[in-house]
Amino acid sequence: MTPLRASIVGVIASLVLLVIVLELVRGRRLKERYALLWLATGGVLLVLSAWRGALNTIAGWVGVETYPPAVLFAVATLFILLVLLHYSTVISRLSDQNVVLAQRLALLEAKLRDKD
């Protein structure tokens, strides 16, 4: 069984994550597009922390017999990996766009200089 204290800490930690993410979006420091995965992370962790039966069942499925909260760590790690992977794709797109911007600026500068 999951210790009650571990569940409580899990619930509090996921709630804190959810509140921080929402507050960042509200203050326009995080765009909705990039907040969704974080909100999903917080939501899933919240459900698994609060719904102890589900956590124990999932622990049974994946063969974690001694300490079910280990599944919480595994799920959290999985989501963090997903967020990181998502960010890698975002950075790739941004760097491509940055190159295009620099190229367009160079062409524009040349055209402006020709006019002088």
Partner 1 sequence: MTRTRIVAIVPALNEEGIIGKVVDEIRAVSPEIDVVVVDDASSDETAAVARSHGATVLRLPFNVGIGGAVQTGFRYALAEEYDRAVRLDGDGQHDAREIPKLLEPVECGEADLVIGSRFAEGEASYRPPFARRIGIRVFARLVSLLSGQHVTDTTSGFVALDRVGIELFAREYPHDYPEVEATLVALRSGLRLAQVQVEMRERETGASSITFVRSLYYIVKVLLALLVSSLRRYPRLQGTSR
Which residues would be at the binding site for partner 1 (CB under 8 A)? 22, 25-26, 31-33, 35-36, 39, 96-97, 100-101, 104
CB of 75 to partner 1, least distance (A): 20
CB of 43 to partner 1, least distance (A): 11
Q: Which is nearer to partner 1, 23 or 62 (CB)?
A: 23
- In angstroms, the CA 116 to CA 101 distance is 23
- In angstroms, the CA 62 to CA 98 distance is 44
Question: Among candidates 89, 81, 79, 86, which has minimal Cα distance to 39?
Answer: 79
What is the DSSP code (8-state) at residue 27? Answer: T
CB of 8 to partner 1, least distance (A): 27
